[in-house]
Chains A and B, each alone.
Chain A
Amino acid sequence: MNARARCSQFLPKLSLWLVAAWLCAGAQAFAQAAYKYDAATVSGLPARNIGSAMMSGRIAALDGVEQDGRITVFVGAASGGVWKSVNGGTTYRPVFDREDVQSIGAVTIDPSNPKTVWVGTGEAWTRNSVSVGDGVYKSTDGGENWTNAGLKDSERIAKILVDPNDGNSVLVCATGHLWNDNDERGVFKSSDGGKTWKKVLAGANGSTGCGLLAASRQEPKTIYASMWDFRRQGWTFRSGGPGSGLFKSTDGGDHWAEINDGNAKGLPPKPWGRTAVAVAPSKPQVVYANIEAERGRGLYRSDDGGATWTKGDASNFMVWRPFYFGNLIVDPRDENKIFKPDLILMLSTDGGRSFNVVSGGAHGDFHDVWINPKNPNIVIVGDDGGLWRSEDGGNLWKHQLNLPVSQFYHVSTDNADPYHVYGGLQDNSSWVGDSTYPGGISNSRWENMFGGDGFWMFEDTGDPAYIYAEAQGGHIGRVNRYTHETRDIQPLPNYGEKKLRFNWNAPIHMSPNEKGTIYIGAQFLFRSRDHGQSWDRISPDLTTNDPEKQKQEESGGVTVDNSSAEMNTTINSISESPKNGQIIWVGTDDGNVQITRDGAKTWANVAGNISGQEKNSWASTVEASRFDEATAYATFDRHTFGDMKPYAYKTTDYGKTWTALPLLESGVRGYAHVIKEDAVNPNLLFVGTEFGLWISIDGGQHWAQYKGSNFPAAAVRDIVVHPRENDLVLATHGRGIWIIDDISPLRALTPELMAKAATLIPGRPVIQYFQVNGGWPEGDESFSGNNRPSDAQITYYQKARHIFGDLKIEVLDQNGEVVDTVPNSKHRGLNRASWSMRLKAPAVAPAATVLGEAAQGPRVLPGVYTVKLTKGDNVYTETLNVVLDPRAKFSVEDRKAQFELEMKVYKLLEHMTWSVEAIEGVRKAANERAAKVPEKDPLRSQLQQLAGKCDEIRSKIVATKEGGMITGEERIREHLGQLYGSIDGYEGRPADYQAARAESLGQELEDVINDFRKLTQKELAGVNASLKKKKLDAISVLAEADWQKKREAGAGSGASTGMRAEPGMREID
C-alpha cells in the first residue's frame, strides 16, 4: 500500500469537515493547507429551475381556508414539497424547501387557528415510484417555518385531523412503511400540540397502518379510521389482509371499536383492502366508506353513524386501484354531494347512489379535493397533472400553471444551440424543452411528444428530426419532432414466448460510438441499427429469471392491479462504453451486473464480485467510464427492501473487483438512483439520490451535497453533463429540470487549490450571446424558467467567507486598462460574479427625459481579457476569453465595424454632453452676473440676452419639454440616442445608412456648436471687459479637455454625475 492509499484510509472518517492535505504532507503544513470540502465548497455555482409547470406533477394532498374574502391554499406535492398561495392560486411559492424530504402525504390547517399548519410527510398513494417521508411537521406561522414534530419512522402519512375546539389535540393517520414492516404506524394522538404522541390505534400486524381518518367538525370527538394491511415489493403489491378494517372512536380517538359485517348491518365480509372513509361535515351521522373487499366492494353509506350501511355505486372507477385513489370528500354543506377522486373525478349528488364524471379538461388520476366551505363553487383538486381550480362547483377546471413539481425520471440533451432538454415524467408523457429561450423558458417552450408515463427520451443521433420516447413497460416509439408522426417500435416476443419482461422504467440507451444505434432492455438486450425497423436480440436472459418474481398477474391483493409497475426480473440499466463499443454493461432490477466485452457475443454476470452488496439489489445505474474501458460505476437501490441507504461501487478491471464508494460515510442521504462521471475529469463524480445531488471531486472518496440556489431535497433521478456547454442537467422527480450552468470550475477543485486563501478559476470561453427579446406577459399565474446567464461568469474560490473589507474584481483589457469593476459574492467555496462585458455608459447631457438607449455602454469586442481579484493585500489574475456567439452569421471584422460605429456615436454623445455643459455654463454665468448688475445697466441686459441666446442654442441640441408626457420632441441628443441604441442592438456589420446618419448627426451637432462658438467669440470679449470694470469675474467657456478630465474623475454628466439633487437641479432646464 502506498502512502496515498494509506492516507485515503483515514480520510473518509474526516469527511465533510476536514479533508486535510496536510495529513499526507505532514502536520507542519496544517496551518496553511487545511480546508473544508463540503456543501459550501460546491454550492456557489447557481442552479436554475426550468420547470416545467406545463405538465406539472402529482399533487397528493391539499387544504385551504378563506379569511376576509381571500383564499389561502396549501398544496402537498407527491414529491415536490409544500406550496402556499395566499391569493386563491394566482401565485404559489414553495415553503418546505429547507426540510429533509419533499414527499407529502397530508396537509391540514388548524380550523381554530389558520396560522398553525400540519404536514404529514411521505405520500400515502403508494404507487411503485412513491417517495418517503420522515414524520409530522408543524408550522405555527402560516407555513413559513416548520418543525419536525415526530413520528419520524412513519415513512408516510395519509391524514391529519386537528380538533376544531382544541388545536393541541391532533390525530395522525400513519400509513407506515410500504416496503417492510414497522411499528410506527396506525393512528397516533397528541394532546399537547405535537410534543408527544401516543399510538391510539395499532394495526393487527407489522404491515398494517392507517388508510384514512375522517370526522366532522360538528362532532370532532367522533372519528372513523380505516386500517390498511398492505405491502409492496419490487415484483408485487398486496392491498388487503387481516389487518384491514374500519374503526370508530367516540372519545376523540382514545378508544376505538371496529365496525364490520359482524356488528354493523350491510357491510361486506372480510377480507378487505383499503377503505376510504368520509363524514358529511354538515351531518355527522352520515358516513361514507368506499370499501375494497373481495366480495361486495363499492361505496357504502350509513345514516346512523356506522350502525347500518347501504351499498351505493360500485362502478368500475369506484372500485379499481384503491391504493391510489382511497379518498372521498363530502361537500361541506350538502351531505349528499360527494367527490370520488379516481382516474376520473366523480361526483354524486344523490348521496352516493350514482356518480357523474366531472373531470372536464383536467389531467386525471385525482387524489384530493378541497371545497371552500364559504363558497362551495370554489373547488380545488389535485391530480397526477398538478392542481386544478373550479369556480363552478367542480364542473370545469383551470390548470394552475405555476407549480413546477414535475416528476422526471430521466433527462437527455442534444447538441442544438441552445440545446434542448428531453425527458419523460411519471404519468406525464415525454417532453422536449428549451434550455434557454428569449424572454425565459415559459411553459409554452415545452412540447409533449408522446404519451403515457414517460421515461427515457433521446434525439435520434442518426436522424435528429426524430426522437425516441417511451411509455411504461418498454412501449418505445420513434416520433417525428415536427409532424409528431409516431411509430411504435417496441420489440416483440418470439414464437411461443410468453412475454418480454420490460421494466416499468425500461432502459433505452443511445450508443456513444455509433450514431443512431439504440438499445432497449427487457430480460434480453435488444439493439437496433436501423431506427427500430429491426431489433437484434443480443443477449440471453440477463436477469435471475426468478419465477417467484414473475407473478404480476396475481399482484394487487384484494384488487388485482397489474399495470407493469411491478414487472421484475428485468434489465434496468444499459451502458455502452464510450471507449470501446464492444463493451456493454447491463444492470438488472434483481441484482445482476452483466458485461460483454465482445460486442454481445458472450456475457458475464459480475454482480457476485461486489462484496458487501446484498444479493438481488436493484442495480439502479451501471455507468461505463468515459475514460477507461475497464472502469465502470454502479449504484444499487434497496429501498424496495426497506433499506433507504445509498450504495455505489467502482470497478477498474471490467467488473472482476469492485470498490465501495463511501457514500454513507460522507453523509449522502437517500437511496441512490444514478451516478455520473464528468465529461472531462474522471475524478469528478455526481450521485443523485432520493434526497438530492452529491458531488465528489476525488473519485468518490468524499462527497458534498449541492445546496446552491435553494435546491430542495428533491429526488435526483438522472444527470447529464452537457459535453459542449459543461452544464449539469438534473432530472428531479418532483421539482422538474434544473441546470447548473458550466460546472467546469468543479474540475479545478484540487487539494492544492482548496488550500489557497482565494483564487480565480478558469472557465469555458465566454460567449457573447445575441441580445434578444421574446416571450409575452402571461400574468402572475404562470411559471417561467430562468435563462442561462448572458453575462460573463467569473468563478473564484475562497477558503473562508469574506466578511471584512473589500473584495474587488476588476476586468482589464488587452492594454491593462480597467474596463469594469464587478459586483461579487462573498461565500466560502466557489463563487460566481457576473460581468456585463460592457464599457461604462456614455455621458449624456440632462434634458427633459432620460436617454434610455444610452444607459449602457457598448459591449466589448471579443478577445482575451484579464480578471483581477484583489482580496486584502493579495491579488489574483486569470484570463477570460470572450468570443462571438457561434450562431453568428457575421464575422469578428463585422463586429469590430459595429463596435467602431457605436464608439463613434458614443463619442458624439460625450461631445454633445460637453457642449451642453459648456453652453449651460455660459448661460448660468451670465445669469449670475446679471443679477449682480443694476437693473438699468446696459450690461445687465447684455448678459440676459447672452443667456437667452445660449438657451436658444441649447434647445437645438436637447429636448426641453417637461411634464412627463409623450412630447415627441427630438433634438440631436435624442437622435443620437436612437442611433446608438439601434447600433448596439445588433452586433453584425452596421448598415451604411447608420454610418451616414452618424456622420450627419455629427455635422449637425458641430453646426450648433459652431453657432455657440461664434456667439461666445463675438460677445464674450466685450462682456468680460464690462464685467472687469465692475470687478466681476469674467465668463469663460468650459474647454472640452477640462470637461473630459472631470468626466474621468467621475464628476461629469454621465452615470458618474453628481450624487445629490442640488436645489438648482430643476433650473437646469
Chain B
Amino acid sequence: MRHAVIVLIAVSCLSVSAHAQTAEELVNKNIQAKGGMEKIKAITSVRMIGKFDGGGGFTAEQSQENKRPNLVRETFSLQGMTAITAYDGTTGWRIRPFGGHKDPQLIGEDNLRDLLLDADFDGPLVDYKEKGNTVEYLGHDTVDGDDALRLKVTLRNGDIIYYFLDPDTNLEIRKEVQEFIRGSVRESVVELGSYKAVGGVMFPFSISQGSKDNPRAQTTTVEKMEVNVAIPDSEFALPASLKPGAKADAGKK
C-alpha cells in the first residue's frame, strides 16, 4: 500500500510541476533533452539515409542532407531513379524523373512550404525568438490517450506546429502541422520516436506522417545518420538552367 501512495504522490507532483511550466522552460527542456544548445550548435551538417514505407508494400529509399544555415537536399529513389528536392537558401528546385521528365524545375509555393520546414536546421524551437516564432504552452493533452505536453509554435510566416512532448523526457513524440496556403489550411501529423544520439544530439529514427485520421500513413525509418559531414554547397545550388536568364534548354544538373 505504501508504494502505491508514493507513486500516486509522485504522479500528482509531476502533474502540478508540469502545469507550472512556461513555454520557454519547456522549450529549454526540450533542447536540453536533445543534448543541449552547445551540442546542437556544434553540428553544421547532417546526412540521413532511410527507408520509406508508404503502406501497401510500397517502399523506397530516402535521404536528407542539411547544412547550415538553411540548406536542404532530399532524395527519393525508386527503381534506380532518384527524385531530388532541394533548397539553396533562397529558391527551391526539384527533379522528378519518374514520369520521364528529368530536367530540374522550380518548386511552387505549396511544396516549398514543406521544404522550408525541413530547411530550418535546428527546427523552429531553437532560437525561436530570433527566428520570429512564438511559442505558447497549452498544458497537458493526450496522444492516443496518453499524457503529453502541448506547445503551440506559430512560425514567422503564420504556419502553426503543435508539439506534443513526452512529459518524462521532454522530447517531441508528435507534431501537428497547419500550413496556411492561399487562405487554405493544410494539415498533417508527424509522429516521432526511436531517438538516438548522433554527435551528442538526439534525433528521431522513426518518423511517420499522415493525416489525423491516419497519422502513420507513411513512415521513414532512418538507417544511417551522420553529422558534420562535408557537403559542398553545390549539392543544394540552383541548377544553372533555372537561374534567371538561363537558356531554355540549358544544362543539366
**Interface flags, A1031-1068, vs B, CB<8A=1, else 0:** 00000000000000000000001111111110101101
Instruction: Evaluate contact between B8 and A17: CB separation under 8 angstroms.
Output: yes
A1008 contacts across to B, CB distance below 8 A: none
Instruction: Evaluate contact between A802 and B213: CB separation under 8 angstroms.
Output: no
* A961-B100 contact, Cβ under 8 Å, with A86-B184, A826-B206, A850-B79: yes
**Interface flags, B136-178, vs A, CB<8A=1, else 0:** 0010011111110000100000001000001011010100001
Q: What is the CA–CA distance of A17 and B12 in the complex, to the nearest angstrom?
A: 10
Total cross-chain contacts (CB, 8 A): 220
B138 contacts across to A, CB distance below 8 A: 145
B13 an interface residue at 8 Å Cβ cutoff?
Answer: no
Instruction: Evaluate contact between B144 and A44: CB separation under 8 angstroms.
Output: yes
Which size bracket describes the interface of B in this complex? 35 or more
Instruction: Evaluate contact between B171 and A18: CB separation under 8 angstroms.
Output: no
* A40-B193 contact, Cβ under 8 Å, with A844-B79, A855-B58, A1066-B252: no
Cβ contact of B3, chosen from A27, A846, A1063, cutoff 8 A:
A27
Question: For A141, A823, A836, which residue has the most chain B Cβ atoms within 10 angstroms?
Answer: A823
Q: What is the CA–CA distance of A1068 and B81 in the complex, to the nearest angstrom?
A: 10
Give me the 8 closest cross-chain CB pairs, A-B, nearest first. A964-B101, A838-B57, A43-B145, A39-B145, A846-B80, A823-B219, A40-B146, A836-B57
Cβ contact of A1055, chosen from B78, B98, B99, cutoff 8 A:
B78
Interface of A is mostly: loop
- The B-contacting residues of A in range 779-823, CB under 8 angstroms, are 786, 790-791, 801-807, 821-823
Instruction: Evaluate contact between A1057 and B79: CB separation under 8 angstroms.
Output: yes
What are 25 of the A-B contact pairs (CB < 8 Å)? A17-B8, A30-B3, A40-B142, A40-B144, A44-B144, A93-B187, A801-B168, A802-B194, A823-B219, A824-B206, A825-B216, A827-B144, A836-B57, A844-B79, A845-B79, A845-B80, A850-B97, A850-B99, A854-B79, A857-B57, A963-B100, A963-B101, A1054-B79, A1057-B79, A1063-B253
Stretch in B19-27, B48-56, B117-125 with 4+ CB within 8 Å of A: B48-56
B142 contacts across to A, CB distance below 8 A: 39-40, 43, 707
* A17-B152 contact, Cβ under 8 Å, with A38-B145, A1057-B61: no
Least distance between A389 CB and chain B CB atoms (Å) = 18
Least distance between B134 CB and chain A CB atoms (Å) = 11
Residue in B closest to A19 when the chains form the complex, CB atoms:
B4
Least distance between A586 CB and chain B CB atoms (Å) = 36
B216 contacts across to A, CB distance below 8 A: 823, 825, 834
Q: What is the CA–CA distance of A1061 and B194 in the complex, to the nearest angstrom?
A: 28
A10 contacts across to B, CB distance below 8 A: 1
Q: What is the CA–CA distance of A962 and B97 in the complex, to the nearest angstrom?
A: 9
B90 contacts across to A, CB distance below 8 A: none
Q: What is the CA–CA distance of A843 and B81 in the complex, to the nearest angstrom?
A: 12
Instruction: Evaluate contact between B57 and A803: CB separation under 8 angstroms.
Output: no
Cβ contact of B79, chosen from A38, A802, A1053, cutoff 8 A:
A1053
A40 contacts across to B, CB distance below 8 A: 142, 144-147
Q: What is the CA–CA distance of A786 and B143 in the complex, to the nearest angstrom?
A: 20
Instruction: Evaluate contact between A840 and B145: CB separation under 8 angstroms.
Output: no
Q: What is the CA–CA distance of A48 and B211 in the complex, to the nearest angstrom?
A: 13
Least distance between A846 CB and chain B CB atoms (Å) = 3
Cβ contact of A18, chosen from B4, B56, B173, B194, cutoff 8 A:
B4
> B residues near A, CB below 8 A?
1-4, 7-8, 11, 49, 53, 55-63, 75, 77-84, 95, 97-102, 138, 141-147, 152, 160, 166, 168-169, 171, 173, 178, 183-185, 187, 191, 193-196, 205-206, 208, 212-214, 216, 219, 221, 252-253
Least distance between B137 CB and chain A CB atoms (Å) = 12
Q: What is the CA–CA distance of A141 and B79 in the complex, to the nearest angstrom?
A: 46
Least distance between A947 CB and chain B CB atoms (Å) = 19
Instruction: Evaluate contact between B100 and A849: CB separation under 8 angstroms.
Output: yes
A967 an interface residue at 8 Å Cβ cutoff?
Answer: yes
A87 an interface residue at 8 Å Cβ cutoff?
Answer: yes
Least distance between A972 CB and chain B CB atoms (Å) = 15
Least distance between A634 CB and chain B CB atoms (Å) = 28
A828 an interface residue at 8 Å Cβ cutoff?
Answer: yes
Q: What is the CA–CA distance of A837 and B95 in the complex, to the nearest angstrom?
A: 32
A42 an interface residue at 8 Å Cβ cutoff?
Answer: yes
A144 contacts across to B, CB distance below 8 A: 160, 178
A285 an interface residue at 8 Å Cβ cutoff?
Answer: no
* A829-B79 contact, Cβ under 8 Å, with A98-B141, A804-B196, A823-B206: no
A499 an interface residue at 8 Å Cβ cutoff?
Answer: no
Q: What is the CA–CA distance of A851 and B187 in the complex, to the nearest angstrom?
A: 31
Instruction: Evaluate contact between B98 and A850: CB separation under 8 angstroms.
Output: yes
Q: What is the CA–CA distance of A801 and B101 in the complex, to the nearest angstrom?
A: 44
A141 contacts across to B, CB distance below 8 A: 152
> A residues near B, CB below 8 A?
10, 14, 17-18, 20, 22-23, 27, 30, 34, 38-44, 48-49, 68, 70, 86-87, 93, 98, 141, 144-145, 704-710, 786, 790-791, 801-807, 821-829, 834, 836-841, 843-846, 848-851, 854-857, 859, 961-965, 967, 1053-1061, 1063, 1065-1066, 1068
Least distance between A458 CB and chain B CB atoms (Å) = 30
B178 contacts across to A, CB distance below 8 A: 144
Residue in B closest to A803 when the chains form the complex, CB atoms:
B169
A1065 contacts across to B, CB distance below 8 A: 81-82, 97
A836 contacts across to B, CB distance below 8 A: 55-58
* A805-B213 contact, Cβ under 8 Å, with A1057-B79, A1061-B84, A1061-B95: no
A98 contacts across to B, CB distance below 8 A: 141
* A805-B8 contact, Cβ under 8 Å, with A70-B183, A707-B142, A849-B99: no
Instruction: Evaluate contact between B61 and A1059: CB separation under 8 angstroms.
Output: yes
Least distance between B150 CB and chain A CB atoms (Å) = 9
Instruction: Evaluate contact between B166 and A803: CB separation under 8 angstroms.
Output: yes
B79 contacts across to A, CB distance below 8 A: 843-846, 850-851, 854-855, 1053-1055, 1057
Q: What is the CA–CA distance of A821 and B52 in the complex, to the nearest angstrom?
A: 11
Instruction: Evaluate contact between B145 and A707: CB separation under 8 angstroms.
Output: yes
Instruction: Evaluate contact between B59 and A1055: CB separation under 8 angstroms.
Output: yes
Residue in A closest to B3 when the chains form the complex, CB atoms:
A30
Least distance between A361 CB and chain B CB atoms (Å) = 29
Least distance between B148 CB and chain A CB atoms (Å) = 9
B146 contacts across to A, CB distance below 8 A: 39-40, 43, 801, 827-829
Instruction: Evaluate contact between A806 and B145: CB separation under 8 angstroms.
Output: no
Having A707-B142, A827-B144, one finds 15 other A-B pairs with CB under 8 Å, namely: A22-B3, A39-B145, A43-B146, A710-B212, A803-B168, A805-B195, A807-B206, A824-B206, A841-B58, A843-B79, A844-B79, A849-B100, A963-B100, A1057-B61, A1065-B82
Instruction: Evaluate contact between A856 and B205: CB separation under 8 angstroms.
Output: no
Least distance between B29 CB and chain A CB atoms (Å) = 14
Instruction: Evaluate contact between A1059 and B144: CB separation under 8 angstroms.
Output: no
Instruction: Evaluate contact between B57 and A841: CB separation under 8 angstroms.
Output: yes
A30 contacts across to B, CB distance below 8 A: 3
Least distance between A1053 CB and chain B CB atoms (Å) = 4
A44 contacts across to B, CB distance below 8 A: 144-145
Q: What is the CA–CA distance of A707 and B81 in the complex, to the nearest angstrom?
A: 42
B168 contacts across to A, CB distance below 8 A: 801, 803
Residue in A closest to B189 when the chains form the complex, CB atoms:
A710
Q: What is the CA–CA distance of A466 and B107 in the complex, to the nearest angstrom?
A: 57
Instruction: Evaluate contact between B63 and A1060: CB separation under 8 angstroms.
Output: yes
Q: What is the CA–CA distance of A826 and B174 in the complex, to the nearest angstrom?
A: 11
Q: What is the CA–CA distance of A636 and B98 in the complex, to the nearest angstrom?
A: 62
Instruction: Evaluate contact between B82 and A18: CB separation under 8 angstroms.
Output: no
B81 contacts across to A, CB distance below 8 A: 846, 850, 1065
Q: What is the CA–CA distance of A707 and B205 in the complex, to the nearest angstrom?
A: 26
Instruction: Evaluate contact between A17 and B80: CB separation under 8 angstroms.
Output: no
* A856-B194 contact, Cβ under 8 Å, with A14-B8, A845-B80, A1061-B82: no
Instruction: Evaluate contact between A34 and B53: CB separation under 8 angstroms.
Output: no
Question: For A40, A801, A849, which residue has the most chain B Cβ atoms within 10 angstroms?
Answer: A801
A1068 contacts across to B, CB distance below 8 A: 80
B78 contacts across to A, CB distance below 8 A: 850, 855, 1055, 1057
Cβ contact of B57, chosen from A39, A70, A850, A856, cutoff 8 A:
A856
Instruction: Evaluate contact between A17 and B11: CB separation under 8 angstroms.
Output: yes
Q: What is the CA–CA distance of A1063 and B82 in the complex, to the nearest angstrom?
A: 11
